[in-house]
Amino acid sequence: MLTSFDYNPRTKLIFGPGAVARIGETAKELGARKVLLVTDQGIVAAGHAGRVTQLLETAGVTVTCFDGVEENPSTLCVEKCVEVARRSSIDTIVGLGGGSSMDTAKGCNFILTNGGHMKDYWGIGKAKQPMLPLIAIPTTGGTGSECQSFALITDVRTHQKMACGDTKAAARIAILDPALTLSQPERVTARSGIDAIAHAVETAVTRRRTPLSGLFSREAFRLTFAGLPRVLKSPADLEARGWMLLGAAWGGTAIENSMLGAAHSAANPLTAHFGIAHGHAVGLMLPHVVRFNAHEPSIAKVYAELGRATNLAPRAETEEVAADHLAERLEQFMEIAQLTRSLKTLGVQPKDIPRLAAEAAAQWTAQFNPRTVAAADFEGLYMEALKG
Ligand SMILES: [Zn+2]
């Protein structure tokens, strides 16, 4: 069957080692005079924020810095960022860091230009007024947020992760400089890399997948599959860092065009109630979701194609066996990344599962999973993950 789709890339990409040096001309291209730089303390300590500030100032652009971004940014974090932005009457936003910096930058942009609170933008296309231009500079090979129009912000009171999407929130320009990702702490490389692989695998099979999203999913998988073991073994391997950064950007592009699936639905309650980092929670659930989805022959076929394209599964194998090979390899990646696959080790008990499953089934991403996945199915997936 032929699937219809629109493709309207909103983000200009600038890729290459040392590409961050072009931030001045990039900001000028957008007419920037007063920039808000949104980042976190780790990025300041690594020297990246200072360098970007200096490059912008040399180009004649005034910079105000908000360096209070936290992991899984909350509505409170966004409000603090908005306060700083309002005081400085800025005209452009630069998000520098991991997905959390980009999410905070986008969240700030919503409220600064359209007023109200984050919950007013929960869903898609709720912003009525134009938004400020955003430049995204990722420093992790992970979320691919630089290629997405969504801000993921957690409600500080309910712990609910709200996906606030609007085409106007997408970055106008993303600078992908692999050299910036060399400074990632090892655990960030591991978690964000696993998340990037999960984006490739989940987007490849969603109900919303199209021939175009499949193109990005497959290339994201090829790059991150080859890159992750290398960056974990040799953190200074710039070529492999480049594959991870580009793979993450293609994964983000795939999400923008096909959404995500059940591994992400199952991960969010684990992050909310047990503080398990996003990439870890997603990577832990993904092999179980792959085996669950592979019961559907048309989906096993897609998984088999991913496996065969990376020489993971011999061509002679049946699609179900090839899909199982993929699940096994994803489990091995968790081991290489030194992330436990057992929910029990992370403090989850059987009595917690019904509540987690009910919340997972209510997640927005669950509806895009290729196989219908109800609360009872999530209970089964969590039970598997309890054992590891
Ligand atoms: Zn993710």
pLDDT digits (tens, 9 = 90+) for 39-77: 999 999 999 999 999 999 999 999 999 999 999 899 999
Is-contact 133 30, C-beta < 8 A? yes
| Regions of the chain short of the pLDDT cut 50 | none
- Secondary structure of residue 152 in the 3-state scheme: strand
Give the integer Cα–Cα distance in Å for 18 and 20: 5
Q: What's the CA-to-centroid distance between 272 and ligand 1, angstroms?
A: 14
Residue 65 pLDDT: 98
117 CA → ligand 1 middle, Å: 24
Rounded Cα–Cα distance for residues 235 and 181 (Å): 9
- What number of residues does the chain have? 388
Six token digits for residue 28: 């000028």
Cα of 373 vs centre of ligand 1, distance in Å, is: 18
Confidence (pTM): 0.95
* Distance of CA 149 from the midpoint of ligand 1 (Å): 14
Burial of 241 (0-12, 13-18, 19+ CB in 10 A): buried
CA of 263 to the centre of ligand 1 (A): 9
The CA 196 to ligand 1 mean position distance, Å, reads 7
CA of 364 to the centre of ligand 1 (A): 13
Give the residue carrying structure tokens 């990722």: 138
pLDDT at 270: 96
Distance 362 CA to ligand 1 centre (A): 17
What distance in Å separates the CA atoms of residue 303 and residue 44, rounded to the nearest whole number?
A: 40
Question: How many angstroms does the Cα of residue 54 sit away from the middle of ligand 1?
Answer: 32
Predicted confidence at residue 308, as pLDDT, reads 86
How many Å lie between the centroid of ligand 1 and the Cα of residue 308?
Answer: 24
Going from the Cα of 318 to the center of ligand 1, the distance in angstroms, rounded, reads 29
pLDDT given at position 160: 85
> Phi/psi class of residue 31: alpha, beta or left (left: φ > 0; alpha: ψ in -120 to 50)?
left
- Concatenated DSSP letters of 290-346: HHHHTTSHHHHHHHHHHHHHTT-S-TTS-HHHHHHHHHHHHHHHHHHTT----TTTT
94-132 in b/e form (b: 16+ CB < 10 A) is bbbbbbbbbbbbbbbbbbbbbeeebeebbeeeebeeebb
Question: Tell me, what DSSP letter sits at residue 137?
Answer: E
Can you name the residues that pair with 62 across neighbouring β-strands?
Answer: 34
Q: Do residues 103 and 145 touch, judged by C-beta distance below 8 A? A: yes
286: closest CA among 195, 176, 361, 213?
Answer: 195
Ligand 1: distance of its center to the CA of 112 in Å?
A: 26
